[in-house]
Structure 1
C-alpha cells in the first residue's frame, strides 16, 4: 500500500480554504477521503482527526499544551529570525502559519524526505503525551523535527494544527457528510447518528472499514465511558406556544433546574462525568464518585448538576456553582456541594435505552436507582392531561424558585435523540414573564475598542447565532451592557489572546465590522427586551435586506460549559421572532 503524504492533505485543506461553497467543500474532502481509503485505509482515521483539528476525541480532554509564546519561539528558530521580529509580523499578519510559510518560501530549501499524514498524526500525539519539567523543550523538538521536512504549504498547516485552529471554515458536520459520501450518499444520516452515539470520528472510521456502514447500528452503539451528544430542547415563548407545538400529544412536565447538564457513566469500577459538550468533568466533581452506589449495574444517566446546601436542603443559584474550581479539585477542600437531579436513562445493565420511549426510560430509572438525599435525586415531574394542569405545574415551579419547566412528549415517538433539538422537548423559562421567552446563548464574533471610561478595554462586542445549515455564524447584535470593570478587564485579556483575521464562516455587513475579530470559541448568555428587524444584521436568514436583531441586549454570564455549535441557531431566532408577534413580521418572510 502506498502512503498518504502530508503534502496532499495540506493541498486539500488549501483548496477548501479557497472556496466558500459548502457543496464544493464537501466534494473536495470526499474525493480526498476516497483516495485515502483506496490507497492506505489505515490513514483514514488520522486524516479525519487532523481534518477536525484534533488528534484525540474531545472527551479525552487531551491538549497539545503549546502556548503562543512557545509557538512564536518555534517559528523564530525554524525561520532563523528573532522572536521580536516574528512577533512584529504576527501583529500584522495575525497567523503564525502564514508567517512560517512565507519564510519557508524564501529559504529555497527542498526537504530530502516527505512527511506522511501518519507521521504528523503520531507526532502530534507525542506532543500531547509529553509531560514533566522538560516537556516544553521536548514538544519544541518534536515540532521542529517535523517542520524541517515541510514544504512552505505544509509549514503553514502544521503550525495551525499545533495551534488547534485550521482557519479554513471546515466544520465537523461537513467532515461527517464527506465521510458518508465516501461509502454511499444515502448512508450519511446513519453515520451522523453513529457519531452522536460515540463522538469519536477516528474510531467511527475504523468501525466502518472493518464492518461496513450497514453494521454501525450494532457495532457502534452507546458505550459507558464514552459520552454521547445529549438530546436538546427547543425554547418556547410561553405555555400557549408550547402546547401548540406538542399538538394533541400526551406530555410530561418537569422542573427545569438551573445548573450544568451532566452525563454520569458507571463502567466496571469507574465513575466518570461529562459535560453537555463531551468534556470530562470527573476531576471537577470528585464528590460525585459515591454515585457509583446508586445502582448495582453499569449505567449512563442524563441529568442536571446544581449547587446544593445540604444543611438547608435547598438548591443554590447557578452563580454559586460557577465558583467551584474546574481542575484538580480536592474532595477535602470543597466548600460548594452539588446534587445531581437525574431525568433520563440512556444505558443500563448492558442495554441501550435511547430507542425506548420516555415512560419506559423513566420507569427503569426510578425502579433501578436509589436516591441519595442532597447528592442524587430524581427530577420532579408530572404527566399532564390538559394545558391547565401544565400551567399549574409551571406556576409551582416558579414559586419554588426553579428556572422554569420542560415539556416532554409521551407516546409512540418519545425516543431519546442524541444531539437533536426538536419539539419532543420544549423548555419554558420564567423569563418570559419579564420580557423575552428565553435567554440566548450567543457566540462572540468580534469586539470594538472602548472609549471614555472603557478606554484601554473593549467597550462593545459583536455577537452572533449559528446557521447549522450553512455552517456559519450570523451577526445578531452589538452588546455593551451588563459588564462591570472586572468583567471587562477579564474579557479584554481573554479575547485578546484569540484574535484572528475575518473568518470565512462569519456572515456580517460591513457597517458593523468590529475593530478586531475573535475566534469562535466563547459563548455568552444574553437577555434582551425583544427582537426587531434590522437592515444592518443578517441573523435568521435575511430577506428584503433585513435580518433579525435584539433590542437592548444585556450580558448575563459566560457559558464555558457550551460548545460554540450549541449556541442559539439561526432557525431558532427566526422562530422566536415569529413567536414574539412583532408587528410587520411579514416584511421578513
Structure 2
C-alpha cells in the first residue's frame, strides 16, 4: 500500500463533518491494506506511529529541508521500517544519524506526504477523537459487530492490534481477547448527572460513593508481580512503590483493581490535584505518599469479573481491599444518599458517583450506568490557543482559547475563552509549556497543538454565533490542567450543548 493512499484518506476524513463518510473512507482503506501493514496504517491514521516516540523532536522534524518528489511511490511498509530504524538509533552520533535517516525518508516523499509525516512525528496529526470512528470503520471493514470490536479494544487497550485481529480473523479472533493480568484495559467512564435525585431515579438499585479529587489508577497483581497504570494506560509502577507494596500485601494471589489515588494532608484531607499528579511524572519515588481508594474489582484469583454485575464485583472488592475500598453506601435511601454527598464534600472531595448495581464493566465508553454528581458544572476542554496578557500579566500567556471534542473525529470545536482562575504559578508554567507546542504565533496569540486538557468551571452555556460550536461558556474559570486525560476524553460539543437552558434553542436543531 502506498503512503499516498493513507494521506489521501486522512485528508478526506478531515474534510468532512459526516461520520458516515469518515467511516466509509477509513473502511475502504482498511479493506485494501495487506495484513502486514494494517498495524502501521491504523497507527498512522490515529496519529501515533507504532514505534511511539522515535527520538526526534519537533525542531528536528520541522528543520528538515528536503525537496519533495513529484510522483508518489513511497510505501507504508517503507515508512514503517524507516521509523523503526530511527527509533532504534542510539549511542554516540545518534542525533545526526536520526536526522540523516529522516532526511532520506522525506527525500522520497511528495509535498503532501512530507506534510503528513511532519504532523505524524510531532503529534499534530493525533486525533484521539477519531477513535470511535475508527472502531466503526474496523467493524465495517471486517464485517463484524461493532460491540465485538469495542470489547476487544477494551481488553487489548490497543486500537491497531484490535484492527489486525479483526481483519485477520473476524469475530472469532476478536472474541479470543481476554483480560490479561499485567496488561491494562481501558477504564469505564461516567456521565454527568443533572442532580442526585435524577441519578437515583434513573439507576434504581445503586451504590453512592465519594468522588475523590485524585488520579485514576488501575493495579494488576499476579503473585508478587505488581503493575500500576494511569487512566491513559501509562505504566507508573516504578514511581509509586508504596502502592506496589500495599497491593502485594492484599489477601489474594491475583487481582485487577480500579480506583483512585491521592496525596493527603496530615489532617487526612486531599492535597491539590497537581501534587498527586507530580508523582506520576516523576522518574523515581518522592517523599509525598499516595493513598489508594479502590472502587471496582475486575479479576480475583483466576476469575474474570468484567461481566458480573457491580453488586458482585463490590463483594469481591470488599473481600480483597478491605479498608482501602472507597467510602459509599449500597442501595441508600434518598436521605442516606444526600448524607453521602454531605460527607464527601465535607471531606474535601468533588461530589459523589452513583452507579447501577446491575451494570457490567463497560470500559472505554461514557455510558449512563455510572453518573457523577458535583455541586458545580465542570467541563474537560482542549486548549487550542492562548493570548498574551496585558497589564500585570504582560509577558505571560493568559487568555485561553477552549475547544470541545468533536465526537465524529473532527478537530476540537471552539466554545469560549477564559483567563480567570490562573495563579501566577500556573501562568508561569503555561507560558513555557504552551510555547513548546505552538503551531503558529504572533504578537497577540499563540496557537497550539490540541493535546492539553484543562478542567473548566462555569455557570452554564448560552447560544452564541461567536464560536463555531454555536454556544459560549458563561463565567468560565480554570480549575486545573488534567495531565491524566487525553483529548479523546474531553467533553464533546454535544455535551456542552446539552447544558443549554431548555428555553434556548440547540444551535444544531
Q: Are 1:196 and 2:154 an aligned pair?
A: yes
Q: 1:41 to 1:572 in 2, by over 3 A?
A: same
- Specify the alignment match of 1:363 in structure 2: 315
2:13 and 2:126 mapped to 1: Cα distance? 10
Q: Paired residue for 2:385, among 431, 446, 449?
A: 446
- C-alpha displacement of 1:122: 2.7
Whole-Å Cα distance in 2 between the matches of residues 320 and 68 of structure 1? 28
Q: Which SS does the other structure have where 1:390 is aligned? A: helix
**CA 1:286–1:115 in structure 2 vs 1: closer, same or farther (change >3 Å)?**
farther
| 3-state DSSP of counterpart to 1:213 | helix
Larger Rg belongs to: 1
| Corresponding residue for residue 337 of structure 2 | 390
Answering whether residue 259 of structure 2 is matched by residue 303 of structure 1, we say yes
1:317 CA drift (Å): 4.1
**Among 404, 416, 422, which residue is 2:361 paired with?**
416
What value does the CA root-mean-square deviation take over the aligned residues?
A: 2.9
User: Per the alignment, do residues 168 and 524 of structure 1 end up closer, same or farther by CA in structure 2, a change over 3 Å counting?
Assistant: closer
1:403 is displaced (CA, Å) by 2.3
Number of the residue aligned with 1:44: 38
DSSP 3-state at the match of 1:178: helix
| CA–CA separation in structure 1 for the residues paired with 2:162 and 2:428 | 43
Structure 1 residue 195, shift from structure 2 partner: 1.0
8 Å CA contact retained: 1:235, 1:438: no
Tell me the residue number matched to 1:488.
Answer: 427
Do the aligned partners of 1:236 and 1:438 also contact (CA within 8 Å) in 2? no
Native 8 Å contact 2:68 2:107 kept in 1:
no
Displacement after TM superposition at 1:268 (Å): 5.7
1:336 to 288, 308, 311: 288
Match of 1:179? 138
Partner of 1:542: none
Q: Per-residue displacement from partner, 1:377-403 (whole Å, max 9, x unpaired)? A: 111221134212211222222233332
CA distance in 2, matches of 1:123, 1:555: 42
1:553 and 2:476 matched: yes
> Structure 1's 393 and 226: CA in aligned 2 closer, same or farther, altered over 3 A?
same
Query: Residue 571 of structure 1 aligns with which residue?
Result: 494
User: Separation in 2 of the partners of 1:327 and 1:316?
Assistant: 17
SS in structure 2 at match of 1:585: coil
| SS of residue paired to 1:220 | coil
Aligned counterparts of 1:170 and 1:399: Cα–Cα separation in 2:
36
Alpha carbons 2:46, 2:127 under 8 Å: kept: no
Which of residues 186, 195, 198 in structure 2 aligns to 1:229?
A: 186
* CA distance in structure 1 between the partners assigned to 2:84 and 2:459 by the alignment: 48
Instruction: State the partner residue of 2:81.
Output: 122
Aligned to 2:98: 139
CA distance in 2, matches of 1:468, 1:15: 17
8 Å CA contact retained: 1:236, 1:576: no
Alpha-carbon spacing, 1:254–1:476, altered in 2? closer, same or farther (3 Å): same
Which of 331, 334, 347 lines up with 1:400 in the alignment? 347
1 CA distance for matches of 2:356 and 2:500? 24
Contact 1:264 1:302 in 2 (8 A): yes
- Over residues 36-87 of structure 1, what are the superposed CA-to-partner deviations in whole Å (9 max), with x where a residue is unaligned? 1xxx322212211222222338xxxx422311222244x13xx3xxxxxxxx
Task: Give distance in 2, aligned partners of 1:344 and 1:168.
Answer: 30
Query: 1:159/1:575 Cα in 2 relative to 1: closer, same or farther (>3 Å)?
Result: closer
Does structure 1 conserve the Cα–Cα contact (< 8 Å) formed by 2:62 and 2:118? no
Residue 212 of structure 1 aligns to a residue whose secondary structure is helix
Equivalent residues of 1:537, 1:549 under 8 A apart:
yes
2:166 to 208, 214, 229: 208
Q: Secondary structure at the match of 1:223?
A: coil
How do 1:229-308 residues align onto structure 2 when only pairs under 5 Å count?
A: 229-246=186-203, 249-267=204-222, 269-290=224-245, 291-308=247-264
Deviations 1:141-178 (A, max 9, x none): 33233233333333332333322333799822222222
- Relative to structure 1, is the Cα distance of residues 245 and 573 closer, same or farther in structure 2, using a 3 angstrom cutoff? farther
Tell whether the 8 Å contact from 1:17 to 1:168 is kept in structure 2 after alignment.
no
Tell me the SS of whatever aligns to 1:207: helix
| 1:238 shift after superposition | 3.0
Task: Quote the Cα distance in structure 2 between the aligned partners of 1:169 and 1:339.
Answer: 30
Deviations 1:337-378 (A, max 9, x none): 0111111011233332111001111111222x255x7xxx11
Q: Is the 8 A contact 1:204 1:220 kept in 2?
A: no
Name stretches of at least 5 consecutive residues in structure 2 with no aligned partner. none
Relative to structure 1, the CA distance from residue 448 to residue 136 in structure 2 (aligned partners, 3 Å threshold; closer, same or farther) is same
